Structure 1
Amino acid sequence: MIKGIKELNADQAKYFRSLINHRLSTLDDEDALGEAGQATVELDQQAVGRLSRQDALQNQAMAKATHARRQVERQKLEAALARMDEGDFGYCEDCGDEIATGRLELDPGVTRCVDCAKG
């Protein structure tokens, strides 16, 4: 049987807050590292050949897409913190049942139980 949350006790709340804040910090670090990859690609064909420029444009597009995925993850984690404050953390937004603790540990931003996520 999969263990659910019921109501967060102080230790569980502290654990999940710490987990979420650590992941937010990691996203901030990754954003800082990825800033250079999102910079505008210079159009100087004397310094950079056409293929090198295409590579640079592709790398820039991938860096921007990665940044967008991190932004979505950040929003999910911040919403999870808000649900903790409201007492709704750990409950499925569709059926209202508990979300398994293991599922929340893997992704604390998850909002649906396994059954509802399956559809």
Structure 2
Amino acid sequence: MPLSPDTARVLLKAQLQALDEEDALGREGTAPVTLEQDSVGRLSRIDAMQMQAMALAQQRRRASQRRQVEAALQRIETGEFGYCINCGEEIAEARLRNNPAIATCVTCAGGG
């Protein structure tokens, strides 16, 4: 059974909710690292800075995913959902079920 736009919409909105929850959990990790030399040694500060960098990278990944999900929701609204944004061919059902936010067919995603 093909992935209907209604089913895709539900899955995509669930993805947005999950991203919002991850954002809420990740806010603390992106806070600036303060220099408290008396209580935090140099290695501890470096470790905190690395953790901050990882949290910022995760935040950027979530923002990118959010844009993809929002674009997929827009494609549903315009009737273009399920078609490759590059070549216009249908995107394989299994590919859409795996990730309803996907915008390209396998051929175009592979660069070919």
Shorter-chain TM range is: over 0.9
For residues 42-75 of structure 1, give each alpha carbon's deviation from its aligned partner in whole angstroms, at most 9, with x where no partner exists: 1111010000000000000000000000000000
Q: Deviations over 1:67-105 (max 9, x none)?
A: 000000000000000010000010011211100121112
Could you tell me which amino acid in structure 2 is paired with residue 43 of structure 1? L
1:13 shift after superposition: 1.8
Moved over 3 A (4+): none
Say if 2:38 is the partner of 1:46.
yes
The TM-score, its normalising length taken from structure 2, stands at 0.94
Higher relative contact order (CA 8 A, sep 6+): 1
In structure 1, what residue type is equivalent to 2:34? E
Gaps of 5+ in 1: none
Please report the TM-score for the alignment, with normalisation by the length of structure 1.
0.88
Indicate conservation of the 8 Å contact 2:5/2:81, yes or no. no
Q: Structure 2: which 5+ runs fail to align?
A: none
Question: Percentage identity across aligned positions?
Answer: 50
Give the one of 85, 99, 102 matched to 1:107: 99
Query: What's 2:29 paired with?
Result: 37
Aligned residues: 111
CA–CA distance in 2 between the matches of 1:55 and 1:111? 37
Report the equivalent of 1:16.
8
